[in-house]
Amino acid sequence: MSLTKDPYHDATMVGLTKKDTSIIFIFLAIAGTVIGYFLPVIVGWLINIPIIPFQDLIKYILSLDGIWLRIICTALGFCAGLFGALLIINDTLHITVNDREINIKQGGTNQSFQQNTIQYIYPDNKQLVIVGNNGYELLRSETDEKQKDLRTAFNDHGYPWSDDDPYADSFQRWVEGNPDLSPAVNALMRARDKALQKDDKDEINDLRNELVKLGIIVRDEKKKQYWRKAE
């Protein structure tokens, strides 16, 4: 991952480069191919473990061992490697910044934010956070990018970057039945707390979005929730 410039479009990109993408595809394709080739041998070892299910079916398949079984397993391993590479690349945050807007691609979604709608951009542990002029979080997304690369990309195009959360002092830890919050908000926080303990990321994000609709911004630290009201 790195920071690259696009002089033709006056833009800066942060994320996987073409070289990074090629390396991921090649490495995982080779790894998948090797594992697939040796899969019959690996499975042959595993069926000696009593807890492995479907042993009779596995033994029957292994009894067909021959060139075609090796070819099929190798091909499946190769395809699995390519599929794994696609998942990794698709889930990686890719940022394009110019003087007018920020474009964010991750997990099959594509979001754009106009510069004049952004109040602050800052890192929160391994998350990138974009706060709008009304105090609401426009984006909170996981990223492995270096903070200095993110800072450079946004500062070069005139965006308001902060190394720390400007609203940090406004957050307070959520406790069950907080009297400062409505019953509806407390119910959502309670459900989200359960999702945090289970590490259910989809539910965690969905409930965060529901809280935003009620004017509540939430962040997490070691599976504890901290909240503030949007301005």
Residue finishing a domain among 55, 70, 91: 91
Q: Which pLDDT score, from 0 to 100, does residue 161 have?
A: 95
pLDDT band at 59 (very low <50, low <70, confident <90, very high): low
Residue 207 belongs to some domain of the structure: yes
Residue 141 belongs to some domain of the structure: no
Q: Nearest CA to 88 among 12, 140, 144? A: 144
Q: Which pLDDT score, from 0 to 100, does residue 208 have?
A: 92
Residue 27 belongs to some domain of the structure: yes
Residue finishing a domain among 71, 91, 111: 91
What is the C-alpha to C-alpha distance for residues 96 and 101, in angstroms, rounded to an integer?
Answer: 8
Q: Is the pTM of this model over 0.85?
A: no
When divided into structural domains, the chain yields a total of 2
Q: Domain span at residue 209? A: 168-229
Residue written as tokens 């790894």? 31
SS3 of residue 195 by DSSP: helix
Residue 162 belongs to some domain of the structure: no
Average pLDDT, the chain: 87
Residue 130 belongs to some domain of the structure: no
pLDDT higher at 135 or 26 = 26
Residue 44 has pLDDT above 70, yes or no: no
Residues 154-163 have pLDDT tens digits of 999 999 999 9
Residues 76-120 have pLDDT tens digits of 999 999 999 999 998 888 999 999 999 999 888 899 999 999 999
